């Protein structure tokens, strides 16, 4: 990322003087007049903090074989649970293989998401404009334009799919594909949380039960990162952690995800038929800080369009999320976070500047 911002005022002025009405980064990126990004998208970073590397052979990204939780020997299952715990503690994420979601369904959903973003802007705008985090469908750009000091090179649609299922009516087939995908990933997320509960020394159903996952929030957040003429100056999403317990991420084969590990940004490849499972803020809270929500960001490219689809597995909106009482000892391991309703936490995220763990830090004792 660049440490200084170029003067893009002339480019911005020429854009304003054109007849094009910009409502999304996609519209902006497809404009023939665009040769440099508007200054409002210039993301300034400290070069000293910009060590970016590929995974180290001596410290590889954890890979978890989901099937071993069910068809492995008792020793294999026990080792897999230990490996999950180690990944959550040391990395805050892992790659998940041999899961229960068909590759064809994952690819079909990505295609449907791409088709949604290719709708006419007027059709997508039917879902735009809302600031309410509980609205069932929200189409937008950047993260929170009213709060963002810098705009991010990203368009998104967020859809609440549980406890009540919602979906855009267009494009054809989107609703059915989304419904099937969400059923599969909901089951996947809940089964993973059973293994995570066990890795913490809790009963397998502890997180599921105390976070009220029968009525839990499940959300699809689909992101479009259009080609950017100056990718070294822009950012798709800034460094941040997520609300919820887990984030199950798939991509379209274009890289752009980076995670912060040992003060380095690690490139995470877009691997077919694989989920990137990110530990989120509420799992860090429940574990009383033993497991770490991972800080991650999205960088952009001048060559390819990147799509990511995140499935947020989260507590019910009225659940007060706090450290598990079984993991707390007032003398040796006191509670490190205050309890807060999930809905209030999401609102806190919406009304704050998004950077690093800025939201989680507000409930840290």
Mean pLDDT, residues 177-188: 98
Q: What is the pLDDT of residues 269-304, one digit of tens each?
A: 999 999 999 999 999 999 999 999 999 999 999 999
pLDDT of residue 130: 67
How far apart are alpha carbons 177 and 114 in whole angstroms? 13
Which residues, other chains included, contact 168 with Cβ-Cβ below 8 Å and sequence gap of 6+? 116, 127, 137, 157, 159, 174, 175
Confidence at residue 7, expressed as pLDDT on a 0 to 100 scale: 41
**If DSSP codes are grouped into helix, strand and coil, which group holds residue 364?**
strand
- Res 339: pLDDT: 97
Q: What percent of the chain has pLDDT over 90?
A: 79
Query: What pLDDT shows up at residue 19?
Result: 28
Half-sphere exposure (CA, 13 Å, Cβ side) for 230?
A: 22
Q: State residue 158 phi and psi, 5-degree precision.
A: -115, 130
* Strand-pair category, 264-268 with 155-162: unpaired
pLDDT-derived band at 13, boundaries 50, 70, 90: very low
Q: Is the pLDDT of residue 105 over 50?
A: yes
Q: Is a pLDDT exceeding 90 seen at residue 44?
A: no
Of 26-35, 84-93, 94-103, 172-181, minimum mean pLDDT range: 26-35
Mean pLDDT, range 181-206, rounded to an integer: 98
For the cut 90, the answer to whether the pLDDT of residue 172 exceeds it is yes
User: Is the pLDDT reported for residue 146 higher than 70?
Assistant: no
pLDDT for position 8: 40
Q: How far is CA 16 from CA 10, 22, 33, 185, in A?
A: 10, 9, 10, 43
Distance (Å) of CA 79 to CA 61, 179, 204: 17, 33, 16
Using the predicted structure, report yes or no on whether residue 71 has a pLDDT greater than 60: yes
**For residue 134, pLDDT beyond 90:** no
CA distance 106 to 103: 5
Average pLDDT, the chain: 90
């Amino acid at each position: 990322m660049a440490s200084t911002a170029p003067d893009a005022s002339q480019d911005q002025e020429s854009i304003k003087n054109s007849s094009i009405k910009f409502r999304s980064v996609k519209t902006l990126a497809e404009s023939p007049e665009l040769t440099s990004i508007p200054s409002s998208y210039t993301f300034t970073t400290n070069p000293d903090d910009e060590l970016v590397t590929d995974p180290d052979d001596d410290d590889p990204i954890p890979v978890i074989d989901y099937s071993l939780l069910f068809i492995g020997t008792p020793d294999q299952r026990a080792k897999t649970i230990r490996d999950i715990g180690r990944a959550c503690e040391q990395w805050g994420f892992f790659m998940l293989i041999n899961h229960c979601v068909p590759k064809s369904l994952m690819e079909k959903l990505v295609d449907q998401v791409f088709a949604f973003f290719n709708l006419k802007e007027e059709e997508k705008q039917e879902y735009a404009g809302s600031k309410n985090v509980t609205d069932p469908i929200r189409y937008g750009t950047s993260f929170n334009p009213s709060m963002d000091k810098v705009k991010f090179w990203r368009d998104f649609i967020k859809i609440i799919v549980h406890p009540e299922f919602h979906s855009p009516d267009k494009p054809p087939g989107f609703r059915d594909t989304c419904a099937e995908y969400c059923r599969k990933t909901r089951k996947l997320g809940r089964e993973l949380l059973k293994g995570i509960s066990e890795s913490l020394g809790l009963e397998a159903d502890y997180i599921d039960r105390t976070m009220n996952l029968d009525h839990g929030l499940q959300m699809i957040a689909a992101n479009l990162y259009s080609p950017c003429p100056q990718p070294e100056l822009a950012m798709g999403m800034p460094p941040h952690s997520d609300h919820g317990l887990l984030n199950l991420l798939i991509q379209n084969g274009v890289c752009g995800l980076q995670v912060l590990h040992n003060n380095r940004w690690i490139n995470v490849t877009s691997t077919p038929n694989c989920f990137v499972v990110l530990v989120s803020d509420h799992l860090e809270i429940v574990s009383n800080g033993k497991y770490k929500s991972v800080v991650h960001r999205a960088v952009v490219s001048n060559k390819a369009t990147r799509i990511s689809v995140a499935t947020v597995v989260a507590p019910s909106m009225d659940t007060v999320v706090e450290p598990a009482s079984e993991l707390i000892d007032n003398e040796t391991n006191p509670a490190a976070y205050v309890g807060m309703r999930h809905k209030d936490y999401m609102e806190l995220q919406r009304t704050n500047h998004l950077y690093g763990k800025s939201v989680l830090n507000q409930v840290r004792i």
